[in-house]
């Protein structure tokens, strides 16, 4: 399959979900690049939103098996998605940034115990955002600089959920990309996996993966330390 051939999704909702993901990526980076990998009956789209330091993955089921591996403009791919017909025209390939050559492994993922519930993950993110705003507002005028704000942000978002190694920034990325939506009347299933130096937080709406997670302060849900 060439990079210019269309993808036919198994359901128009698959196209809509992928389009929503691309819009969120473009919100953080208007020049975002994504890598597509399709094999069998699904396509995986990888993106790296700035500041979160994670790789985000959204998959979509296809009506027809295809074989595709291409790096393309996220904006052009979004323009090529026809949500009503469940079709996407893949744009021409581009030279991608270095991260597109270092993707999470496809296999050998092992479950990691101790991940908080989706509601607890969202709560921890909300508390961290509130802490950042409070500390930012408390800065004296002479210290209200980008460097100082970045330092506070790194301190907060590098904290990990106790016993998992998963940093808060991964949960923040998942929520910001629409992977942790509240589901009325039910608990959203979430899971954590590890493969070598990689961790992957997975939900029914997508995944975020990161590697070489450093040791940091721990945080328990609903308690920002």
Among 20-24, 43-47, 143-147, the range scoring the smallest mean pLDDT is 143-147
Say what the pLDDT of residue 212 is: 75
Tell me how far apart the alpha carbons of residues 60 and 81 are, in angstroms, rounded to a whole number.
Answer: 13
Strand partners, 194: 110, 199
pLDDT number for residue 1: 42
Asked whether the CA dihedral 6, 10, 12, 16 is positive or negative, the reply is negative
Model confidence over 45-99: pLDDT tens digits? Answer: 999 999 899 999 999 999 988 999 999 999 999 999 999 999 999 999 999 899 9
| 146-157 and 118-138 helices, crossing angle to 10° | 150
Q: What percentage of the chain exceeds 70 in pLDDT?
A: 92
Please tell me the CATH superfamily of domain 6-96, with its number: DNA Polymerase III, subunit A, domain 2 (3.10.150.10)
Partners of 61 in beta bridges: 42
Domain limits, the chain: 6-96, 110-219
214 pLDDT band, cuts 50/70/90, is low
Condensed to tens digits (0 to 9), the pLDDT of residues 100-117 reads 999 999 999 999 999 999
Give tens-digit pLDDT for 168-184. Answer: 999 999 999 999 998 88
Q: What is the pLDDT of residue 3?
A: 46
Chain length of the chain: 225
First to last CA, the chain: 51
- pLDDT-based confidence at 35, cuts 50/70/90? very high
Sorting pLDDT into bands at 50, 70 and 90, what band is 2? very low
pLDDT band at residue 224 under the 50/70/90 scheme:
very low
Cα 156 from Cα 23, distance rounded (Å): 26
pLDDT recorded at residue 4 = 56
pLDDT at residue 121, as a whole number: 97
The mean pLDDT of the chain is: 91
pLDDT at 202 over 60: yes
Round to whole Å and give the CA distance between 173 and 180: 9
CA nearest neighbour of 152 among 172, 131, 125: 131
């Amino acid at each position: 399959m060439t990079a210019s051939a269309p993808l036919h999704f198994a359901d128009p909702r698959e196209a809509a979900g992928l389009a929503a993901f691309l819009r969120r990526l473009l919100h953080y980076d208007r020049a975002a690049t994504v890598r597509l990998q399709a094999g069998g009956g699904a396509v995986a789209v990888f993106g790296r939103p700035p500041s979160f330091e994670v790789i985000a993955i959204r998959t979509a089921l296809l009506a027809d098996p295809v074989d595709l591996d291409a790096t393309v403009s996220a904006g052009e791919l979004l323009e090529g998605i026809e949500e009503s017909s469940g079709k996407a025209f893949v744009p021409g390939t581009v030279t991608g940034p270095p991260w597109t050559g270092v993707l999470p492994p496809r296999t050998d993922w092992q479950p990691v115990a101790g991940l908080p519930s989706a509601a607890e993950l969202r709560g921890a993110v909300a508390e961290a955002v509130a802490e950042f705003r409070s500390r930012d507002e408390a800065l004296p005028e002479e210290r209200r600089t980008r460097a100082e704000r970045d330092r506070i942000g790194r301190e907060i978002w590098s904290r990990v959920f106790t016993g998992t190694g998963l940093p808060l920034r991964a949960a923040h990325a998942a929520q910001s990309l629409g992977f942790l939506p509240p589901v009325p009347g039910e608990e959203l299933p979430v899971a954590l996996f590890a493969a070598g130096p990689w961790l992957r937080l997975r939900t029914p709406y997508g995944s975020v993966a990161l590697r070489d997670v450093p040791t940091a302060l721990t945080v328990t849900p609903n308690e920002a330390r």
